[in-house]
Amino acid sequence: MAFTIEMLYSLVILLFCSLGNSLSSNYYGKTCPEVESIVAKVVKDATSKDKTVPAALLRMHFHDCFIRGCDGSVLLESKGGNKAEKDGPPNLSLHAFYVIQNAKKTVEAVCPGVVSCADILAFAARDSVVLSGGPTWYVPKGRKDGRTSKASETTQLPAPTFNISQLQKSFSLRGLSMEDLVALSGGHTVGFSH
Ligand code: HEM
């Protein structure tokens, strides 16, 4: 299966549907116009050193969006008594977090305190698909970073043992159709599985 226009469409729907706040095209137009090119360069440089980076970032974005919307909550560390999403069982095989950290650091040096980590991850997932030979798409901007991240909520991610009814239910709870499910499953064009 290859990346298709349907998959691209579904990713955009996923970004819109899983968020409560409204997004816009020129959110960083005045405050950080270079943000997308900065992130694209960081992802490209990381990929040139490690070919597993694009798949990692695409899956990371999906796992972020499915829990509490695309709010960067998958990036937060466990702290005190709170075990974060990152340390939930389905996320233990996520990797390449350092790429998002590098992108955030590089963006902060140019436009401090402006761009959310959630937006950076959304850009990076798109750039990853492009670098893998897939299509590009427009990423709406203005996601807010969440402060809540609970490992216990990662049970809401679809399990590899799910049958089609369970997958359909998991996606429909997030406003995604069967067509979206099939198209987004094309994300497995890249990457590995145990
Ligand atoms: C439909 C429900 C889904 C299930 C049950 C599922 C399950 C899985 C599993 C079990 C793996 C292997 C993890 C491992 O062995 O460590 C995996 C990998 C992956 N998934 Fe999914 N997935 C789903 C949807 C998606 C979606 C919507 C995307 C993105 C559009 C996606 C992108 C990926 C990628 C890129 C990898 C490879 C990650 C890597 O190589 O680092 N998956 N998925």
Per-residue model confidence (pLDDT) at position 72: 98
Per-residue model confidence (pLDDT) at position 17: 46
State in Å: Cα 66 to ligand 1 middle. Answer: 12
The dotted CATH code for 5-184 is 1.10.520.10
pLDDT digits (tens, 9 = 90+) for 85-110: 999 999 999 999 999 999 999 999 99
- H helices of 111-177, in order, are 117-131, 164-172
Nearest residue CA, atom 40 of ligand 1? Answer: 191
75 DSSP 8-state letter: G
pLDDT digits (tens, 9 = 90+) for 113-146: 999 999 999 999 999 999 999 999 999 999 999 9
Testing ligand 1's pocket by substitution, the residue of 7, 155, 188 carrying the most ligand atoms inside 8 A of its CB is 188
Testing ligand 1's pocket by substitution, the residue of 6, 7, 59 carrying the most ligand atoms inside 8 A of its CB is 59
Atom of ligand 1 nearest to the CA of 192: 40
Q: Is 61 a catalytic residue?
A: no
Sequence ranges of the domains in the chain: 5-184
Q: Report the Cα 81 to chain-centroid distance in Å.
A: 26
Contacts of 33 (CB under 8 A, 6+ apart): none
| In contact, 176 and 13? CB cutoff 8 Å | yes
Contacts of 151 (CB under 8 A, 6+ apart): 78, 83, 84, 85, 86, 87, 88, 89, 91
State mean pLDDT over 23-50: 98
Task: Say yes or no: CB of residue 193 within 6 Å of ligand 1.
Answer: yes
| In contact, 143 and 116? CB cutoff 8 Å | yes
